[in-house]
Amino acid sequence: MKSVKRKIFLLGLTAMMSVSLAACGSKEESTGGTAAAGTDTTAAAAETETEGNDGDVTAGGTYTAGTYTATAKGNNGDVTLEVTFDSDAIKSIEIKEHGETPGISDAPIAKIPELIIANQSLNIDAITGATNTSNAILNAVADAVTQAGGDAEALKKVEIADNEAAGEAVEKEADVIVVGAGGAGLAAAVSAAEEGASVIVIEKNPYIGGNTVRTGGGYASCDPEAIAIHEMTDGEMAEIEGLIARETDNEAVKGWQKKVAEDMEAYKAEGKTQVYDSLEYMSLQYFFRFSQAADPELLYDLVAKSKPTKEWLGELGFEWTDSPSFLLGDTWPRWFSSVSAHGGDGFISVFTDAIEEKNYNVEIIKEVRAGELLTADGKVVGVKGTAADGTEYTLNANKGVVLATGGFSANKEMLIEYSDGRWADISKLQTDNDPAMVGDGIKMALEIGADVVDMGHLQLVPTCDPKTGDAYPFIGTGTNLYVNKEGKRFVNELSDRDTLSNAALAQTDGIFYMVCDKNNSGVGEDGTTYGGQNIQDLIDADIVVKADTLEELAGLLGVDSATFVETIEKFNEAVKTGVDPEFNRASFGGDFINPDGNPGIFEAPFYAGPRTPSAHITKGGLKVNTSAEVIGTDGNTIPGLYAAGEVTGGRTVAGLLEAMTSGRTAGKTVMGK
């Protein structure tokens, strides 16, 4: 067996880069106005009659009529727009160019320009969850106002009209009501539609996708044939042998150990050298990695459905990478992703495309927050929700309701209430989640007698921004070299996430630096990162430092130079020899952004950025069975109620695998399949 180069997939990537870079709608950045009154601007975003502007001068003063171009920093880079003015009003706003995250940016792009024009105001609230895109539009329009000779500061103080009066109550009916338009909810909707269901999906955000669209799109699948392109290392063999020997009282788990032991005997007898995988081995790894807390039946079912669900997504149009990679926190290379979409977007668009192409009877209603499950004779028969403007929604389900509201990492009170003591000071933790992840589905189900399991099992991801808590942007992949403020390495960077996060929190200020070189930073020749940001923007925002020598890098980080350089030299030696006497890292192969390389710090420019753990995934949730039926505190299933994705507990493995498999199952079960 030898140490081989293999791909290490980063924790999730990148389309959703939640950077709080200072928005800059400065004059320097704008390309100037054309004093072309009457320019025929076909505003894609907004061109409405300006209410309250019958030739009166607005708070912005008078403008030099014409069309002006301005640019401001959004979430993923520049947002450029054109604003057309007549002498006393903003007439239209057209977004010309942007690289903002599809789905999440739809709402601000549609709504903010409309609100600016209707109110002749820049005093518009950012759309929750899409703050950076919202602010980019507001800042760029402010710049255009200034270019046109108007008073942007005055427009920022103009109160906007309250058009939020509730509409008439809405009542609708469908076979299946799905709550939450993330990955699990849309998987459930499409799978139910395949069985002929009419479906209504309600989503509280103005955009769909939930946390699913924020991910790097790594999907774990047990596929022994695909994984066998890698040769097994000594470290990997030792891991298998260690898991076979672990003590357990659980009969199912003992059965997995026996099967893996038999497989390994055959493996050796046949002289095999490639990485081994099986349903039993993947289940065994997850069972022991996550505190032996999983319900073995649920866990095995999840693993067994991983490949069939991957194939189902493929049939729906998802284009998978052929060979798997590593993902931050996993020791086994079994993560697949989309070849065509970065990040989690592919796991949403595959469903919206299918709904459109196959003309499924699926209606998605945004900006309606479900608040209550409706019951009749002990059965769940619908959902009550409220729209952003207060309009009441009653949605009746002929067959059942699927809760797919995600986890609760963004609800500090719930995290503290249910803490199992695994993390010392939850009140200080930030999160990388969408703000919508506050546990609504769990609360609604608890009201009608549902049971919950494993609620204290919060997973942190170690590599977040200390200022914002966001997982992105960063450079590298998350499996790069970690160095603390004392300039020392402190952990095997391929450990599981609990180990990495515990180790990180034990460092001075709970902070460490992820260190990369030219080849494993993901920064391209054009100066953009793998996530599409300009590296200079990340440097300006103090997310990353860059240097031509290791000594200079140490100086920028404020760590002792001699210690830092010695640490790098030792790490590079381990990379070259494949042997890591200090921390026993088993692989120094390439990673997702650097498949044929290594994590060594060899070639300038060198980069580093401060990182700290954030609340990432809540593994606990509603108690369910393998058919996605919700179980009550009396031990019986609750008729008409199903749950899928991170809102559920019991598997101790959350993420896209759980969302896709359990969502698909829920859609089938509710239709009696």
Ligand X SMILES: Cc1cc2nc3c(=O)[nH]c(=O)nc-3n(C[C@H](O)[C@H](O)[C@H](O)COP(=O)(O)OP(=O)(O)OC[C@H]3O[C@@H](n4cnc5c(N)ncnc54)[C@H](O)[C@@H]3O)c2cc1C
**Given 119, 191, 205, 257, the residue binding ligand X (CB under 6 A):** 205
Distances 33 to 87, 155, 276 between C-alpha atoms, Å: 14, 19, 63
Name the one range near ligand X by CB under 6 A: 111-119, 214-222, 235-243, 255-263. 214-222
Beta carbon nearer to ligand X, 139 or 215:
215
Among 4, 6, 8, 12, binds ligand X (CB under 6 A): 12
Q: Does 487 bind ligand X (CB under 6 A)?
A: no
Q: Helix 296-316 vs helix 346-357: angle between axes, to the nearest 10 degrees?
A: 60
- Report if residue 471 touches ligand X, rule: CB under 6 A: yes
Check if 497 is active-site.
Answer: yes
For ligand X, which stretch binds (CB under 6 A), given 209-217, 236-244, 604-612, 665-673? 209-217
Contact 95, 137 (CB under 8 A): yes
- Binding to ligand X in span 303-342, by CB under 6 A: none
Which parts of 622-661 interact with ligand X (CB under 6 A)?
645-647, 654-657, 659
Tokens encoding 217: 């799109």
- Smallest distance from ligand X to CB 617, Å: 5
Q: Among residue numbers 426 through 445, which ones bind ligand X (CB under 6 A)?
A: 432-433, 436-437, 440
CB atoms near residue 156 (< 10 Å): 16
Give the integer Cα–Cα distance in Å for 334 and 354.
Answer: 26
Dihedral angle, C-alpha 96, 101, 106, 112, nearest 10 °: -70
Query: Helix, strand or coil for residue 241?
Result: helix
Q: Closer to ligand X by CB, 386 or 563: give it.
A: 386
Contacts of 392 (CB under 8 A, 6+ apart): 166, 169, 170, 384, 385, 386
Give me the residue label for tokens 């990353």: 544
Q: Sign of torsion, CA 79 82 85 91? A: negative
- In the bound state with ligand X, the residue whose beta carbon lies nearer, of 535 and 653, is 653
The Cα 94–Cα 269 span in angstroms is: 67
Smallest separation (angstroms) from ligand X to the CB of 670: 16
**DSSP state for residue 59 in the 8-state scheme:** T
Applying CB under 6 A, the site for ligand X has a residue count of: 42
Whether omega for the bond prior to residue 113 falls within 30 degrees of 0, making it cis, is no
CA dist 624 and 622 (Å) reads 6
> Quick one: which of 594, 600, 424 has its CA closest to 504?
424
**C-beta of 309: minimal distance to ligand X in Å?**
12
By CB under 6 A, name the one of 180, 206, 522, 620 that touches ligand X.
Answer: 180
Q: Which stretch binds ligand X (CB under 6 A): 76-84, 166-174, 398-406, 569-577?
A: 398-406
Residue 43 dihedral angles phi and psi, to the nearest 5°: -70, 115
Question: Which residues inside 351-390 make contact with ligand X, applying CB under 6 A?
Answer: 369-370
Q: Whole-number minimum distance, CB 267 to ligand X, in Å? A: 28
**464: contact with ligand X by CB under 6 A:** no
Contact 217, 345 (CB under 8 A): yes
How many Å apart are CA 408 and CA 395, to the nearest integer? 24
Q: Which of 78, 82, 194, 203 binds ligand X (CB under 6 A)?
A: 203
Our CB check for ligand X shows the closer of 445 and 545 to be 445
> Which range, of 50-58, 150-158, 215-223, 630-638, touches ligand X by CB under 6 A?
215-223
Q: Looking at beta carbons only, is 46 or 475 nearer to ligand X?
A: 475
- Out of 214, 230, 546, 611, the residue judged to bind ligand X by CB under 6 A: 214
Percent helix / strand / coil, the chain, rounded to 5: 30, 20, 45
Minimum Å gap between C-beta 369 and ligand X is 4
Q: Does 488 bind ligand X (CB under 6 A)?
A: no
Of 226-234, 401-409, 519-527, 571-579: span binding ligand X (CB under 6 A): 401-409
Smallest gap from Cβ 654 to ligand X, in A, equals 4
Catalytic one among 6, 334, 497, 664? 497
Nearest approach, Cβ of residue 404 and ligand X (Å):
5
Cα angle 667, 671, 673 (rounded to 5 degrees) comes to 90
Residue whose token pair is 């809102």: 647
By beta-carbon distance, which residue lies closest to ligand X? 182
Query: Is 183 near ligand X (CB under 6 A)?
Result: yes
- Residue 384 near residue 401, CB atoms below 8 Å: no
> Is the CB of 263 or the CB of 629 nearer to ligand X?
629
Q: Point out which residues pair with 61 in neighbouring strands.
A: 58
Cα separation of 116 and 122, whole Å?
6
Backbone φ and ψ of 338, nearest 5°: -85, 140
Nearer to ligand X, 182 or 487 (CB): 182
CB of 81 to ligand X, least distance (A): 27
Cα–Cα dist 4/7, whole Å: 10
Name the residues that contact ligand X, by CB under 6 A.
11-12, 179-185, 202-205, 210-212, 214-218, 369-370, 404-406, 432-433, 436-437, 440, 471, 616-617, 645-647, 654-657, 659
Active site residue ranges: 497
